[in-house]
Structure 1
Amino acid sequence: MSCSALSSVSAAGLSPDDASVAHIHFIGLDVDESGVPYMASIPVHKVTVVALDPRGDVLLAYEMNGAPIPRDHGGPLRAVVPGVVGARNVKWLGRVVASNEESQGFWQQNDYKAFSPGTDWDNLDWKSAPAIQGLNVVSAICLPAKGEEVSLEEGEITVKGYAWSGGGSDIVRVDVSLDGGKTWAPAELTKPPTNSSGRAWAKTLYSLTQRLPEGVEAGGKLEVVVKATDENYNTQPESAGPVWNARGVVNNSWHRVQVNVV
C-alpha cells in the first residue's frame, strides 16, 4: 500500500486551492560530494500529473508488491509521479516542499534538458530550455531479440513489445514493419487500465504475427521496425537526427531489430 501525495499534503495543512503553490519539490536523502541532496520538482499547473489533484495519482510509496520497497528502488520512501520522466520520481525521499518556484537543484537546472540538434557543448545555455517533465511517445521491440533466428520454413514471425506516452496519453496504434519501414501492419494492442480521469499511466502491450515478406531467403536478414502513435496523434520520428541533442535525451526514434532468416 502507498499513500497519495494529496492526502499527505492535506495532512500537512496545504490546500489544493492555494494559488501560491506552483511547484512541488521532492528532496532525497542521498547527497553528492558537496553534501547537496538530489532534488527535483514538478509544476502543478503545467503538466497533467498534478501533485495536489486527487486525479493525479502521484504517490509517496513505501511498499511494492505487498512488501517494503527495496533500497535499490528508492526505499524506504520514494515519490512516484506517473507520466513524468524518472528523474522527477525521487528515491530515498526525505522532504516534500510546496513552493512558488521550481527546484534549483543541479539535476533540475543543469541536466535532463533537450536542445536543438545544432546546439553543442560549446554554445549550450542551460537556462534556454525547460526541464523535461512528460515524455514523448515511444515503443520498443521485446521479441524477437537482436540476432534471433527466424525459420523460413515456418514462414512467419511474431513481434511483441510495449508502447508508452507521457502525461497519461493513451496509445492508439502500434505499427510493425518487417522490411525496414517500407510497409507496415497494425499490431493488436493490450490496453492497461485507465484511472478515473481517463489517463493511461502504464505501458500498452502489442503483438503481431505476420507472414515473412516475399523474396526473403535463408541466410538473409530481416529488419523489424516498430513505431507508436498516441491519442494526440504524436508519432515517433524515423531517425534520431531531427531530435538529437547534446545531452542525448528524449530520443524516441523508431526501434529497429535485425534478425537472421534460416
Structure 2
Amino acid sequence: MSLWDKRDDMVVHEREPFNAEPPPAALAGRTTPLDTFYSRNHGEIPDIDPAAWRLTVDGLVEQPLELSLAELRERFEEVEAAVTLQCAGNRRAGLIEVRDIPGEDPWGPGATSTARWCGVRLADVLAEAGPLPDAEHIAFGAPDVSRLAEPAQPYGGSITLAKARGAEVLLAWGMSGAPLSRVHGAPLRVVVPGWIGARSVKWLTRLTARREPSDNFFQTSAYRLLPAGDGPGPGGPGQDRPGTDGHADGIPLGPIALNCDVLSPRGGRRLPSGPTEIIGYALAGDDRTVARVDVSVDGGRHWVQADVDTAESPWVWQHWRTTADLPAGEVEITARAWDSTGAAQPESPVHLWNPKGYANNSWARVHVTCE
C-alpha cells in the first residue's frame, strides 16, 4: 500500500494535498474498491477525534442543533445507498491537450468512483431543525484549511434547500461496509448524488441554512465554469480582471454533466486485429440515467450501440460493453452517451475548453495500434 492505504498503482497527482485517481481497471465493477477510490482534497487532511466531534446545525432554522455521532445514530433512521461521485475536473487531461491549464491537476477518466454509503438522510436532520421560510440554501462547513484560497480558509460549499431535502442526500459515516476512513472524510461527510464531488463536503462540522449560497471561496470563486477567454488568475476565477471580486463570474457548478469513458482497451496499447471487447462507464448526472452508448472504431463515421447495464438508480454509473472488429493499423475507438432526456455528449473538447478545466464531457477517444 502507498499513502493513505491506497494501492501502489494509483495515479498520484499531488501528495499534499493528496489527489489521486485509480487505474481504469479499478472502475470496472459496480462499486470501487476502497483502496482505489479516487481522492480529491484541497488542504491538509484533518485528524478528528470522533468522540469530541459535534455537528452544528444553525442559521435560518427554528431549532438550532448540536449533535454527536452517537446522537445522529440514535435519533435518525440509518440508510444505505449506492452513489457515484465524480470530480468536476474528471477528464481534464483532454482539455489540457487542447490548451494548457496551469496549476490544475491533469485528471484522467479516473476522478470518479462508486461506493455504498451508510448514514442518515440530510433531510431528516433538517426536518428536526426546521428551516425557516426564507431559507433557500444549505451551506456545509469543514475544518480542512486550503491555501488555494487567498487568504487561506477552511473548505466549504452549499447546495439548494430543494436538493438537500431530497431523500438521496446523505450524511455518511460508512463506506462500502467499512467505517468512513480519514482520507474520505471521517467521522462524517456529505454525499450529494448527481452533483459534482466538490459539494460532497468531507469532515463535516456545520450545516447552515441561508438565503444565499455559501460565501466560501470554493462556492463563490472556485468550481465555476468561466468563458474560454477568461484567465484563471492567481487567486481563482475572476481574480485577474480589474473590477471583479470573483463572486459572480462564470456558471456555478452543481449537477454533473453527462459523461462516459473507455476503460478497456486503454490508449497506446498494441493489440491483435479482429474481434475485441470494448468496455466503459457512463454517468448521466443529476437525476437522469444513461439511455444509450454508441461506439465507433473508425473515428465516428459508423456507430454501433453498446449493451448498457440497467441503472440501479439515477445516482450510480452504468457500465457498457460491445465487441468490435478492429482493423490492422492505427485505430481510434470513440464512445458517446445519451441520457434519459435525449441529450448527448458534445463531440469535441475544443469547444469545451475553460480556464479551470472543468466538465470535459466530450466524446471519449482511445487510440490503439492493431497488428
TM-score normalised by the shorter chain: which range applies?
Answer: 0.7 to 0.9
1:160 aligns with 2:279: yes
Aligned to 2:141: 27
Q: Distance in 2 between matches of 1:32 and 1:238?
A: 35
Aligned to 2:256: 135
Q: Give the deviation of 1:119 after TM superposition.
A: 3.0
Any residues of structure 2 matched to 1:54-203 within 5 Å, and which? 54=167, 57-121=168-232, 123=241, 126=246, 127-152=248-273, 155-194=274-313, 200-203=314-317
Aligned to 2:318: 204
Letter of the 1:166 counterpart: G
Q: Does structure 2 retain, via aligned residues, the 8 Å contact 1:117–1:241? A: no
Q: Number of matched residues?
A: 241
Q: Distance in 2 between matches of 1:240 and 1:91?
A: 30
Q: Distance in 2 between matches of 1:203 and 1:161?
A: 10
Q: Does structure 2 retain, via aligned residues, the 8 Å contact 1:116–1:243? A: no
The sequence identity of aligned pairs, in percent, is: 34
Over 3 Å counting, the alpha-carbon distance change for 1:32 and 1:115 in structure 2 is closer
Any residues of structure 2 matched to 1:245-256 within 5 Å, and which? 245-256=354-365
Q: Give the deviation of 1:82 after TM superposition.
A: 0.2
Cα deviation per residue 1:177-228 (whole Å; 9 max; x = unaligned)? 111111111100102312xxxxx1100110001223xxx33xx121111111
1:257 aligns with 2:366: yes
Q: Give the deviation of 1:123 after TM superposition.
A: 4.7
Cα deviation per residue 1:24-56 (whole Å; 9 max; x = unaligned)? 1111121235563111001224xxxx11233xx
Aligned to 1:3: 120
Letter of the 2:134 counterpart: S
Any residues of structure 2 matched to 1:219-238 within 5 Å, and which? 220-238=329-347
Q: Does structure 2 retain, via aligned residues, the 8 Å contact 1:239–1:253? A: yes
Q: Distance in 2 between matches of 1:242 and 1:130?
A: 16
State the secondary structure of the residue aligned to 1:87: helix
Q: Does structure 2 retain, via aligned residues, the 8 Å contact 1:188–1:206? A: yes
Q: Distance in 2 between matches of 1:188 and 1:149?
A: 25
Q: Does structure 1 retain, via aligned residues, the 8 Å contact 2:224–2:249? A: no
Q: Does structure 2 retain, via aligned residues, the 8 Å contact 1:43–1:102? A: yes
Q: Does structure 1 retain, via aligned residues, the 8 Å contact 2:291–2:338? A: yes
Q: Distance in 1 between matches of 2:275 and 2:269?
A: 14
Query: Which structure 2 residue ranges, 5 or more long, are not aligned?
Result: 1-117, 233-239
Q: Does structure 1 retain, via aligned residues, the 8 Å contact 2:259–2:361? A: yes
Q: Distance in 2 between matches of 1:71 and 1:201?
A: 24
Aligned to 2:165: 52
State the secondary structure of the residue aligned to 2:252: coil
Query: Which structure 1 residue ranges, 5 or more long, are not aligned?
Result: 195-199
Q: Distance in 1 between matches of 2:214 and 2:251?
A: 12
Letter of the 1:43 counterpart: T
Over 3 Å counting, the alpha-carbon distance change for 1:177 and 1:28 in structure 2 is same
Q: Give the deviation of 1:97 after TM superposition.
A: 1.1
Q: Distance in 2 between matches of 1:211 and 1:257?
A: 15
Over 3 Å counting, the alpha-carbon distance change for 1:14 and 1:130 in structure 2 is farther
Q: Give the deviation of 1:116 after TM superposition.
A: 2.3
TM-score for both structures, normalised by structure 1 = 0.86
Aligned to 1:197: none
Q: Does structure 1 retain, via aligned residues, the 8 Å contact 2:195–2:254? A: yes
Q: Give the deviation of 1:248 after TM superposition.
A: 1.3
Q: Does structure 1 retain, via aligned residues, the 8 Å contact 2:189–2:202? A: yes
State the secondary structure of the residue aligned to 1:257: strand
Cα deviation per residue 1:88-118 (whole Å; 9 max; x = unaligned)? 1101111111111110001111111112223
Q: Give the deviation of 1:261 after TM superposition.
A: 0.7
Q: How large is the RMSD of aligned CA atoms in angstroms? A: 1.8
Letter of the 2:174 counterpart: E
Q: Does structure 2 retain, via aligned residues, the 8 Å contact 1:139–1:164? A: yes
Cα deviation per residue 1:140-190 (whole Å; 9 max; x = unaligned)? 1001111223222xx211110111122121111101111111111110010
Over 3 Å counting, the alpha-carbon distance change for 1:35 and 1:123 in structure 2 is closer
State the secondary structure of the residue aligned to 1:136: coil
